[in-house]
Structure 1
């Protein structure tokens, strides 16, 4: 908040909606600083009005989907309630069912015409990844839901990676989700997983062909893993050829970011140049390309070499 004899300003960002993080911002400018009490009252009234509106238009169908009340949903649909009714912050009953991981409720809504394809903001697919419901992710994918989104803050694959929901991540990848998509200020799915210390997701993404160098701008996944203090993740990234000497926008290497005497620093210091076998593996995997990595298992090679190529 700014204060001056002629000018005062209130500006803020808040989240409305229990189930989706809809970002709303506001700014009020007042030219008479003597009216502080009036200004405060206006701000409070507007805030309460916005939040009240976001809840007042929730239907009984929203509440039933949120609570997983299948029989009640059936009754409400029979009574004629529309399955795609949206609240002011664009939340549908399907959003609620998926966020709660209520598969049967989500299926009933979809069977009665609920929209699974929406790509705006926090989609039902994003909510399913947030809750870790692989069943809902599979269901929505079968109904044509896309992992693409117009929102920089609500990407299903980034959410699954950061929450370490491995099964959801596997399903998204099997339905064509972009593994290396880098969002501004968010980074790649691998970067999100490293930042969150999601070891299982890091391994899955790398084995599925994620580029170990694609992070967030000049910050690499290795930078993120070091800052998160996850030595296991650092080990995995180095096995997949992460560059220990890459520098971020501040000119710092992963080693520069590691805490003194930490397990992460010990891992980085122990690793010398990549062994010839690891370099060969990285080269062969790059030559095969991500779309053909799964075919490494049918190459005419000894089983030990095929397992080595696939990190088994």
Structure 2
């Protein structure tokens, strides 16, 4: 009976168990389980210790050793933005498309960190930019963290600019939710659909809700519908606070001018994949610059 009580107490009173240090965090042994399977290889990769990485691989550590959450050393090196470690792991045969249990790839982690050098290196190793997972994607990571150069690299390699993930929405919606103005600008100039957000919630709804007046102006410039309604039947104006900057930005806009309507129509007709060809049209430079918002 005493043995049973002792065994039960181990489960009922975890706060009384000894404390340990894992990854710089104080935790008891139950909380430490998620850290206990991290190898020295993971630690070296995350902290950018190239010489230690080389030594561990030479000693027989497998380059694609995974944690319980399927995190690889390459994931860790990318998350830390350590270019030399990323290059060494890739040259040693690391899986460039490894996917963790939360859907993250090394490319996702590089985009989250904002290391354009690592993103370029990963892409040069033929990493997939079209995720099949509904939890995360490289372009969403770059957009919401406002890493403009990473986003431009992904777009140049053919990333799906209007990919909508459940709950997360499109990259443009994510950027609006995070008030990532630089990435909103890149996405719109690259031809992202200004109306596609998250379900019936448009990017304009997100920008208004987050108080991004500069982003509201930009979305309206690219043809966002200020009268669209979300699933609750609310317009962007309804969501704006009294006398707020976003309300002023919405209210000062009148009907679109004829020139603006023509620009939106031509851009829509060209489509995202042919927008770049506008610069080669037989039109005066001032008209081409107008079409391209330059």
2:50 aligns with 70
Count of aligned positions = 276
1:168 aligns with 150
Instruction: For 1:1-312, list aligned pairs within 5 A.
Output: 40-41=12-13, 51-119=31-99, 121-312=103-294
Assess if the C-alpha contact under 8 Å between 1:98 and 1:128 holds in 2: yes
Assess if the C-alpha contact under 8 Å between 2:176 and 2:206 holds in 1: yes
- Separation in structure 2 between the aligned mates of residue 50 and residue 308 of structure 1, nearest angstrom: 61
- Separation in structure 2 between the aligned mates of residue 80 and residue 189 of structure 1, nearest angstrom: 41
Assess if the C-alpha contact under 8 Å between 1:117 and 1:143 holds in 2: no
User: 1:37-73, CA deviations, whole angstroms, 9 ceiling, x for partnerless residues?
Assistant: 887437998x956643322221111111111111111
- Separation in structure 1 between the aligned mates of residue 16 and residue 236 of structure 2, nearest angstrom: 46
**Length-normalised TM-score, structure 1:** 0.84
Q: CA deviation at 1:148?
A: 2.7
Q: For the structure 1 residues 50 and 139, does the alpha-carbon distance in structure 2 shift closer, same or farther, using more than 3 Å as the test? A: farther
Structure 2 alignment gaps of length 5 or more: 1-7, 18-26
- Separation in structure 2 between the aligned mates of residue 180 and residue 37 of structure 1, nearest angstrom: 53
Determine helix, strand or coil for the equivalent of 1:153.
coil
Assess if the C-alpha contact under 8 Å between 2:70 and 2:99 holds in 1: no
- Separation in structure 1 between the aligned mates of residue 92 and residue 139 of structure 2, nearest angstrom: 27
Assess if the C-alpha contact under 8 Å between 2:208 and 2:236 holds in 1: yes
Assess if the C-alpha contact under 8 Å between 1:53 and 1:88 holds in 2: no
User: 1:253-300, CA deviations, whole angstroms, 9 ceiling, x for partnerless residues?
Assistant: 000000100111011000011111111001000111111101111111
Structure 1 alignment gaps of length 5 or more: 1-35
Determine helix, strand or coil for the equivalent of 1:86.
coil
Structure 1: 4+ residue segments shifted above 6 A: 36-39, 42-45
Assess if the C-alpha contact under 8 Å between 1:179 and 1:205 holds in 2: yes
Q: CA deviation at 1:151?
A: 3.5
